[in-house]
């Protein structure tokens, strides 16, 4: 079975067992959510991904290259955004801020995930 993209972090391709665990958790949290008007992933699922799953995946050698590649992609995007902002496209400042934040978060995960 091939790797599949993470449901909320499409750049991260999960191995079959990790993908099944993720999908199962997403379904469980969806079913626990008692709000018929809610759309998108359940907040509890998003919290689990951010607080437990991503830090755990960042510690696995199999996924580390994907994290490094994502950081490199975001740094390239930020450089392009900064060039456009410097050229007068001030409307891109919020996107640059979002990109900086994601880079920081992933770098924090990577530094916390270093195995001694």
**Structure token digits, residue 60:** 């696995």
Q: How far is residue 65's CA from residue 50's CA, in Å, rounded to a whole number?
A: 19
Quote the domain boundaries for residue 69: 43-116
Q: How far is residue 84's CA from residue 107's CA, in Å, rounded to a whole number?
A: 24
Q: Find tokens 């050229």 and name the residue.
A: 87
Residue 21 domain flag: no
Are 49 and 23 spatial neighbours (Cβ–Cβ below 8 Å)?
no
* 25-55 confidence digits (pLDDT tens): 999 999 999 888 989 999 999 999 999 999 9
Concatenated DSSP letters for 51-90?
A: IIIHHHHHHSHHHHHHHHHHHHHHHHHHHHHHHHHHTT-G
pLDDT tier for residue 115 given thresholds of 50, 70 and 90:
very low
Residue 10 domain flag: no
Q: How many domains are there within the chain? A: 1
**Structure token digits, residue 95:** 């996107």
Are 22 and 6 spatial neighbours (Cβ–Cβ below 8 Å)?
yes
Residue 57 domain flag: yes
Q: What is the pLDDT of residue 1?
A: 58
* 57-107 confidence digits (pLDDT tens): 999 999 999 999 999 999 999 999 999 999 999 999 999 999 999 999 999
Q: Which residues contact 66 (CB under 8 A, 6 or more apart)?
A: 11, 12, 13
pLDDT at position 116 over 50: no
């Amino acid at each position: 079975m091939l790797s599949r993209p993470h449901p909320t972090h499409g750049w991260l391709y999960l191995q079959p067992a990790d993908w099944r665990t993720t999908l199962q958790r997403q379904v469980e949290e969806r079913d626990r959510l008692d709000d018929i008007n809610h759309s998108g992933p359940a907040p509890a699922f998003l919290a689990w991904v951010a607080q437990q799953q991503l830090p755990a995946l960042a510690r696995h050698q199999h996924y580390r290259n994907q994290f490094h590649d994502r950081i490199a992609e975001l740094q390239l995007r930020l450089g392009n955004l900064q060039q456009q902002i410097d050229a007068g496209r001030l409307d891109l400042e919020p996107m640059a801020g979002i990109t900086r934040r994601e880079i920081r978060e992933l770098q924090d995960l990577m530094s916390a995930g270093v195995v001694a």
